[in-house]
Amino acid sequence: MAQLFTPFRLGGDVELPNRIVVSPMCQYSAVEGSAIDWHLAHYGAMAASGAGLMCVEATHVSAQGRITHGCLGLYSDANEAALKRVVDWCRAWMPSTKLAIQIAHAGRKASAQRPWKGGGPLTGADAPDTPWSTISASAIPFDATGPGVGFQGGVPAQLPAAKWHTPVALDRVGMDRVKAEFVAATERAARLGFEVLELHGAHGYFLHQFLSPLTNHRDDEYGGSMEKRRRFPLEVFEAVRRVWPRERALGVRLSAIDWVEGGLTIEDSIQTARELKALGCDFIDVSSGGTIPNAKITVTPGYHVPFSARIRKEADIATWAVGVITEPEQAEQIIASGAADCTAHARSFLADPRWGWNAAKALGVEPPPLPVPYHRAASILPFKPRPVAKAAE
């Protein structure tokens, strides 16, 4: 039996039917933070992909925390209602697929152009997308170390040589406000019925900005040593854990390293994972980079897998491996070797929205459940398709 297609208890009472995760992928297509028909079509396809868990893109806890004007939010009743339409559709047609959501705040990387408009900071020339003020651990703009190749929205991109906004360094009142926004978004996600919640603490976004010495130059109890830098992200996690139902799974995406001398190390992230586990964290989604725009990142197939393996072993916590995992045999080897508990895939699913079905065929195992209207595809699958537990009429 292929290990990739064995069930896995992620946390609480959440058991995934297989180890394949659709990674959160920003679509930059929301209106005032609310999902539109595009999201219904996109997530409908991802829910029917054969993955055991589908994670909705970075969904921001405030309008100020969005990366772009097109980013999803979960900070208003309108946002919640629009996303409920998407969740209800996925539940009706693919109830066997577990649903996750990643909640996030972009911090100093907010107020940006959509990637297809350049991905740089918004200026007065980007109307109707007008810029807004940004916040962070310290008043250091994203391009303080110069332009170059970086991660905007988790995707390598050539950033323009434009000056990024200088964020406001948060005081205690501001920190409490953002923590409350994370809690409120968590409560909305719980009402929507997501089984899994992930906090975005990677890719140079808000929580990562507190963790990294490259972006946190504070001289109070939230800056300086690694112990002090992780204090506020841990406070946010603890507040979220208090309101997220215990029977559902809760995890964090971390950038294991910053890929820059003087930045976060894997040892730092292992200890952060240990402390998160002690607070009730169920899993770590292991990524890297994104802190500054000119980090030299060595991108190779499965390049985060060694970080996932170390965090899994040394912090004794479940992990997801991400990063150029494109082939079923590659994913199977990662799980079978014990380097991760799940493999998360992004662009692989954009290129092949039936990646999970095709992985089952490649590995010679029974395919995941298919929605009834797709059963006519059975002739190209090695086994008779299983129906979903309950199909929409």
Q: Name the nearest CA neighbour of 42 among 390, 353, 358, 373.
A: 353
Integer Rg of the chain from CA: 20
How far apart (Å, rounded) are the C-alpha atoms in residues 202 and 57? Answer: 14
Using an 8 Å Cβ cutoff, are 163 and 141 in contact? Answer: yes
The set of catalytic residues is 205
Q: How many residues are listed for the chain in this entry?
A: 393
Show Cβ contacts of residue 315 under 8 Å, excluding neighbours closer than 6 positions.
270, 271, 273, 274, 277, 284
The residue written with tokens 């250091």 in the block is 140
Q: Which of 341, 325, 254, 354 is nearest to 16 (CA)?
A: 341
User: Any residues with CB less than 8 A from the CB of 56 and at least 6 apart, and which?
Assistant: 24, 43, 72, 83, 86, 99, 100, 101, 102, 194
The helix/strand/coil state of 208 is helix
| Residue 241: CB atoms within 10 Å | 18
Tokens of 252: 């964090």
Grouping H, G, I as helix, E, B as strand and the rest as coil, residue 12 is coil
